[in-house]
Amino acid sequence: MPQHPFAITLDVGSSLANQTGSWRNERPIYVDRLPPCNNACPAGENIQGWLFHAETGDYETAWRVLTQDNPLPACMGRVCYHPCESKCNRADVDSAVGINSVERFLGDQAIKNGWKFEAPKKESGKRVLVVGAGPSGLSAAYHLRRLGHKVVLQDAGPKPGGMMRFGIPKYRLPREVLDAEVQRILDMGVELKLNAKVDNIQETMKAGKFDAAFLAVGAHIGKRAYIPAGEAAKIVDAVSVLRSMEGEEKPLLGRKVVVYGGGNTALDVARTAKRLGASESIIVYRRTRAKMPAHDFEVEEALEEGVTMRWLSTIKRMDEGNITIEKMELDKTGFPQPTGVFETLEADSVVLALGQDVDLSLLNGVPGLTIKDGVVEVGPNMMTGASGIFAGGDMVPSERTVTVAVGHGKKAARHIDAWLNGKTYVPSEKHDVATFDKLNAWYYTDAPGTVRPVLDTVRRQSTFDEVVSGLDETNALYEARRCLSCGNCFECDNCYGVCPDNAVIKLGPGNRFKFNYDYCKGCGVCAEECPCGAIAMVPEEI
């Protein structure tokens, strides 16, 4: 097997051999540790697993390993906030592996080459209703169908995708990419019903003879705030603005637009307003930039496009053509307090981006459910208090991201499958995480990460063309090869080469190695020279 592209083989001479003793207090063992990227992924992807295939150039196998957990890699490669990269050990060497960019590359390759999911080998005879065709519902439908269940995916909207379509602008997620990945799921035999709102889940399940249901209704209802306003003042909510972008008639926000809020949705609306022709697009937020829930890179992109920010400010009133804002200041605890200092800004419209709620009316009258703070309480198996009714995504207490939603869909599908078969799904026990201190990183040379191409600022202000482009094959291959294979043997042969006692036995390509303890003196050189920390020294058995 070829040596890892960023590993250096160390030639160990007799000096190390002299350090070994004739009596063994510890013995080396091969271990598999959990890569920190895998551990941080809300969708539960085997990131290191698919990167391994990607770095060999076998992109289809990499895509198939990836999609064992996540059926939407081209979408996720664009909209996921990649928490995996924030935990990547490579960041302690130079910079994190561009996992998200390689995922997008694989997803785009699949669309380009027409790769399809395999149909289930056998049918279970069970029927499952999935309510909501957003990321969580699509993920659940995909995994349930793979398990052989008949799946009906029902959505109140005119098109599938949920908040990926109606909450994420086209400049971040082109609709042809979303449509292609949705269609691939439907091609497995998932039935899709659109413009079909579920008003009562129990009645719908009974009428359709469903054995179980997964509820994945997105947070489509914009939260309101009381702002004193004149009769002619135009106040709208962010969700409605973004949703209307999918229709024939675009929203009329005017030349001067104020967006009230500090999350990613606020930034999406402000950037959309600029693209619709607003000369001024201003975000008003009551806290500081450091406290904005929006991701910093999105704030930077918005600033580059001409969006302006009024931090430590709150809207007190809106009249026709202007708003009144009050300056805030932080108290000793860091909480914003009013100052009594006011300012008037011109504004044709105010867009409220203060968060979203879920429509839970379909659960009216269902016994056993617990609803708290606008979401449904579920157990560890994702089932609500009503037998056979499971829920995930925006409907349950969690962080509201596409990646979390996809993970919920997969998790729920596994529990639903077990429940339908009268069993309990028990996830496998996780290995210890391969933290940076468990690696021998001196083997790795600097290999700075690849920066994805970005559309020029002028075009970003006037079109909905995709802002961030993908990697080409050369860059994707390079980026995949930056993976350190944390905690898992990639057969670099270092242990075989440095062992002074010839105690390491090769088992053939793909089969790794084993130790011959009749020869091993327990010197620990193999563990010290394993680049990825896949060898541990344990007390000798007596």
| Mean pLDDT split into 10-residue runs, the chain, 542 residues | 44 40 80 96 96 96 98 97 95 94 98 96 96 97 98 96 95 97 98 96 96 95 86 88 88 94 94 94 94 92 95 93 94 92 94 92 91 93 96 93 97 98 92 93 83 90 91 95 94 94 93 93 92 92 65
- In angstroms, the CA 392 to CA 217 distance is 8
- In angstroms, the CA 494 to CA 365 distance is 64
- In angstroms, the CA 231 to CA 339 distance is 28
CB-based contacts of 81: which residues, under 8 Å, 6+ apart? 295, 401, 403
* Alpha helix positions (H), 399-520: 402-420, 457-460, 473-480, 494-498
Beta partners for 236? Answer: 351
CB-based contacts of 510: which residues, under 8 Å, 6+ apart? 1, 491
CA angle 33, 37, 42 (to 5 degrees): 115
CB-based contacts of 445: which residues, under 8 Å, 6+ apart? 6, 8
78 half-sphere exposure, CB direction, 13 A CA radius: 25
Measuring CA to CA, how many Å separate 127 from each of 209, 294, 420? 7, 40, 10
CB-based contacts of 483: which residues, under 8 Å, 6+ apart? 48, 51, 52, 55, 90, 97
Q: Strand order in 349-352's β-sheet?
A: 235-237, 349-352, 256-260, 280-284, 308-310
Pull the structure tokens for residue 43: 């969708």
For strands 221-222 and 356-357, give the pairing: antiparallel
Residue 246's nearest CA partner among 178, 340, 296, 190 is: 178
Amino acid, res. 113: N
Domain boundaries, the chain: 14-32+489-539, 37-115+446-479, 127-220+358-420, 222-355
What CATH fold (topology level) applies to the domain 222-355? FAD/NAD(P)-binding domain (3.50.50)
- Looking at domain 37-115+446-479, which of 3.30.450.20, 3.30.830.10, 3.30.930.10, 1.10.1060.10 is its CATH number? 1.10.1060.10
| CATH number of the 127-220+358-420 domain | 3.50.50.60
The pLDDT assigned to 17 comes to 39
Phi, psi dihedrals of residue 279, rounded to the nearest 5°: -75, -30
Entry pTM: 0.91
| CATH number of the 14-32+489-539 domain | 3.30.70.20
DSSP string, 170-186: TTTS-HHHHHHHHHHHH
- Please state, as a whole number, how many other Cβ atoms lie within 10 Å of the Cβ of residue 265: 26
Pull the structure tokens for residue 258: 């104020």
CB-based contacts of 423: which residues, under 8 Å, 6+ apart? none
> Are 37-115+446-479 and 222-355 the same fold in CATH?
no
The pLDDT assigned to 12 comes to 42
